[in-house]
Structure 1
Amino acid sequence: MDVDAYLARLGVAWPAAADLETLRHLQERHLTAVPFENLSIHLGEPVKLAEEALFGKIVERRRGGFCYELNGLFAALLRELGYAASLHAAQVFRPDGTLGPPLDHAAIVVELDEPWLVEVGFGRFSRYPLRLSGVDAQSDPDGEFLVLDAPHGDVDVVQDGKPQYRLERRPRPLSDFVPMAWWQATSPESHFTKSLTCSRPTSQGRVTLSGDRLIETVDGVRHEVVLPTEAAIRTAYRVYFGLPLTRLPTPPGESPLTSGALSPTLP
C-alpha cells in the first residue's frame, strides 16, 4: 500500500505514534474526506473486495464506498501504521428491532490499552472511536453511544437510545464478507439496491445527495432542495463530495443488477 498517498487523500501527515489521539484524528478525517456512497451499484461497476482494487477506487480515483470497502481498506491502513486492527462482522438492527443477516456489516476493532470500535463505513455514526469495554454512555458529536452485552459474547452498539448493530467479538478476514457484499450489491431485497446515497459529515452537521435530492443538516436544522438538472447533480457530487463523475448513476430500480456486472472479487 502507498501509505503516503492514502494519508494525502485524508489530508493528514504521517503520524508520529500509533496511539488513541492519532486514531481519533484519522477516523474523523476519513469520515470527512471519503464519503459513504453506494454509487458503484447504480453505475454497474464491479464490487471488488481486494486491497489493490479498493486502493485504486478510494485513493487513486478519489471515490467513496460502503462498509466492506471503507472499513476494509481503512483497517489495512491502520495496520500499516502500526495498529492492531481487525475486521469484525455485525448484524444491523432493522427499524422494527429485528436483526439483519450475519455479516450484514463490517466494522473495525483496534486493540490499544483496551479494544476500540472504529467506524468509517456506517453513514451517520460516531465521529470518534468508541470504547468497547465501556459501561457508561459515551458522548460524541453525532450522538450518545452505549455498548451493551449481547448473547454469545457479542455486543450491541446503541446510538441515542436506538440499537444500531450487534458486533461479533472474533475477527474475520475481508474475504469472509465477499458473499454478503455480492448480495448487498445485487439483491432486490437489499436496501443498497433500493436507494442511491452519497453522504459525509461536515463541521456543522451532514450533507447527503440522494438521487436529485441534496440534503444538508446545519446545527440540527435540515434543509432539502431538488436539483433540477443533470449538470447540477454532477456539480453537487464534485463540490460537496469531491467526486468527478463522468456519468451519473442510474436511479434505483433501473440499475444493472446482473452478477456479471457486479461480481465481487476475492482478495
Structure 2
Amino acid sequence: MELDAYIQRINFVGTPKPDLKTLAQLQRQHCYNIPYSNLDVQLGRSLNTDIEKSYIKLVEQRQGGWCYEMNGLLGWMLECIGFNVMRMSGGVRRDERGDSAIGNHLVLCVQLDEPWIVDAGLGDGPYEPYPLRPHTFSQRGFSYQLTRSEDYWRLYNYPGGSAPSFDFVHEPADEDQLSEKCQWLSTAAKSPFMSALVFQRVVPGGYDLQVGRVATKILPGGREEHLINSADEFVQSISDRFGLVEPELENLWEGVLEQHELYLASKEKNQ
C-alpha cells in the first residue's frame, strides 16, 4: 500500500500534513475521484473489510466502493500521514431499524484540536470533516445536522438525501461486528444492497446519483432525473458520470430492468 499512489488516485496537490486543511482537502478529493458503488454486490463478488483489498480495488484497479472500503482506505491513508484516526460503527436508518442497524456503516473520527468526523462512505453525505459537537452546518448549499442523545450521536443528511440519517457511538468500532455486517449486506437476500445497483459521486455543486436505470443530478435547488433506455446507454452513463469501466456491466442490464419494474410496482402499491 503506497501513499503516493493513493495521492495520485485522488488528484491531491501538495504535501499532505496532519492538519485540518489537509484533512479537508483529502476527504474532498477522495469523494470527487472515487465513486460510491455497490457494483460488486450486484455482481455477486465476495466483499470484506480487508483494507489491503480495498486499496487494490480502489487505487490500483480504479474502481468504486462502499463505506467499508471507502472509509477503510481513507482511514489507513490518514494514519500513514500521521493523523490520529478512530474507526467507529455507524447505523444507517437506526431510527427506523433499531440497534440491528449498528455496523452497517463505517465512519471515522480524527482527533485534532477537537474530534472531527470524516466520512467518504455515505455517498451523498458531507464531503468535508465536521466537528463532533451538536450543531447545524452547511456545505455547498446542502444543510446537515449533528445531534446528541444519551447514547448515540446522529447525523441528519440533507433533506432528500439517499441515507436520511445514521447513528454512531464515539468509541472504537467492534471490528467483528463490522465484518459480520459487511458479509451480511453483501450476500443476504434481504440486504437493501441486493435490490438495486447504486452509484454516487460528489461533483462540483452537488452529487451525481444513479440507481438502476435512473440517473439523477442533485443540486441544492432540486434534482434532475433521466431514465436510461438501453444497455449501451447504461454502460456509457457509468463510464461518463462515475469514471468506471467494468466489462460485466452490460450483463446487469436485464436485472436492472427487472429491479426497476419491481420498484414501480412497489411504489404504485404504496400510493
TM-score tier (shorter)? 0.7 to 0.9
1:155-201, Cα deviation, whole Å (9 max, x unpaired): 12223479611111111265541110011111222211112100112
CA contact under 8 A between 1:214 and 1:227: conserved in structure 2? yes
Larger mean Cα displacement after TM superposition, 166-175 or 93-102: 93-102
- Describe how 1:76-91 pairs up with structure 2 within 5 A: 76-91=76-91
Matched, 1:217 2:218: yes
Q: What letter matches 2:193 in structure 1?
A: F
CA shift for structure 1 position 246: 0.7
Structure 1 gap ranges (5+): 256-267
Q: Aligned equivalents of 1:243 and 1:175: distance in 2?
A: 31
Q: In the superposition, relative to structure 1, how do residues 100 and 228 fare at CA in structure 2: closer, same or farther (>3 Å)?
A: same
Describe how 1:78-117 pairs up with structure 2 within 5 A.
Answer: 78-93=78-93, 96=96, 100-117=100-117
Query: Given the alignment, which residue of 138, 148, 155 partners 1:157?
Result: 155
Which residue pairs with 2:139 in the alignment?
A: 140
2:12 alignment partner, SS class: coil
Superposition pairs for residues 1-267 of structure 1, below 5 Å?
1-93=1-93, 96=96, 100-132=100-132, 134-141=133-140, 143-152=142-151, 154-160=152-158, 164-172=165-173, 174-218=175-219, 220-248=221-249, 250=252, 251=255
In the alignment, what sits opposite 1:259?
none
Alignment CA distance shift 1:171-1:14 (3 Å): farther
1:40-89 CA distance string (max 9 Å, x none)? 01112210321221111101111111111111111001100111112100
The one-letter code sitting in structure 2 at the alignment partner of 1:208 is L
Q: Which has the higher helix share?
A: 2
Contact 2:90–2:169 (8 Å) recurs in 1: yes
| Identity percentage of aligned residues | 26
Equivalent residue number for residue 265 of structure 1 = none
Q: Give, in angstroms, the shift of residue 253 of structure 1.
A: 10
Range 54-63 or range 95-104, more displaced = 95-104
Gap change, CA 1:2 and 1:119, over 3 Å in 2: same
Maintained 8 Å contact 1:212/1:228: yes
Give the distance between the partners of 1:79 and 1:87, measured in 2 at CA.
Answer: 11
Q: TM-score, normalised by structure 1?
A: 0.86
Matched residue type, 1:150: S
Unaligned runs of 5+ in 2: 260-271
